[in-house]
Chains A and B, each alone.
Chain A
Amino acid sequence: MMEDEAFTDINGKSISLDCQCHSSLCSEFIVSVPKVSIGKVMVYTCCVWLLAYAVFFFTENTAVLTSAIFITLAGMMFHIHFVKVDHESLLVIGSLGVQVSSSYASGRETTTFIEMGKIKDIVINEAIYMHQIIYYLCVLLKEPSDPDAVSSVVPLFQSSKPRLNCLVKVYKSCQEIISKC
């Protein structure tokens, strides 16, 4: 079962949520961020190269142009590989655990698995972030020795930061699965 509506992130950029209910005990939520737009890339490259050409015009040093080309290339590769997230997914399997993975624009994927014995709850929390207060979904972890105390917090969907309507959908589906086990 797949659903797609018009969700946005906290800054107003549109994102898309894809919920897949594989069974009554397992469902997956994928939040996708729009890809890097070619217009933005061209604007940045032109700005950097015009600036480098202006510096070269005054200093007559060709090393400025070479270094500008290298900086642009290295910066773009770094951005694609380490910074730009393509989609983040949350896979909840009742009585087994939760898998959180984010995949970057270059194809790299990072995954974390949290077993159900460590999970106390998945909740929507509000916190101060920079100059605003945002809602974010997080997994509360507990120590097996003290099942009533929260030992640590793992925030989800950190790079895409969806707004409350998207989070409530994910929250409701997660609670259906978690409350069963």
Chain B
Amino acid sequence: MGATSPSPVPERAIYGFVLFLGSQFGFFLFCLWAYIPEEWLHSIGLTYWPQKYWALAVPIYLLVAIVITAVLLFGVNMNNTAPLDSIDIITDVYAQGQRTTDCHKRGIPRLKDVSISEVNKMFYLSPKL
């Protein structure tokens, strides 16, 4: 299991640094392509590059997508929250033994999920919590 722990390891530092250098170099190349006029690129011989329109379009698309994702995530979460009148707020199929029969024998009572009626009585009807 030692190979799968998330601790810092020299190989991971090297991977990280290589990725960092690669991404900085890639950004430098992107800036070169975006700023150098088309005629100079054609005169060198590099003719088959995407249109300059995409130098603006791709970053703007990315930023708009990130903003919409934030709003969409919030909306999806609110949509998935159970409404106030749904039975899932009170209990579900995995709740164990919620019968309200009180069989107080001597000894440790049976382990079970406490029903909401008993919780309410304990919180709000007993004189001192």
Contacts and interface: CB of A to CB of B under 8 A. Distances in A.
B5 interface: no
Contacts of A67: none
Contact of B82 (A123, A127, A150, A172): A127
B90 A153 contact: yes
B114 to A, nearest CB: 12
A91 to B, nearest CB: 20
Contact of A130 (B78, B100, B121): B78
A46 B81 CA distance: 37
A150 B87 contact: yes
A175 B86 contact: no
A128 B88 CA distance: 12
Nearest to A123: B120
Interface string B114-129: 0011001101110000
A140 interface: yes
Interface string B92-124: 000000111000000000000000110011011
Given A124-B120, A125-B116, A171-B120, A155 B84 contact: yes
Interface string A123-150: 1110111100000101010000000101
A136 B84 contact: yes
A154 B85 contact: yes
Contacts, number: 52
Contacts of A127: 82, 84, 89
Contact of B117 (A121, A129, A151): A121
A57 B23 CA distance: 53
Contact of A172 (B87, B91, B124): B124
Contacts of B116: 121, 123, 125, 140
Contacts of A175: 121, 125
A148 B120 contact: no
A124 B124 contact: yes
Interface of B: 78, 81-82, 84-87, 89-91, 98-100, 116-117, 120-121, 123-125
9 contacts: A120-B117, A123-B116, A124-B120, A125-B116, A140-B116, A152-B87, A153-B85, A172-B125, A175-B125
Interface of A: 120-121, 123-125, 127-130, 136, 138, 140, 148, 150-155, 158, 168, 171-172, 175
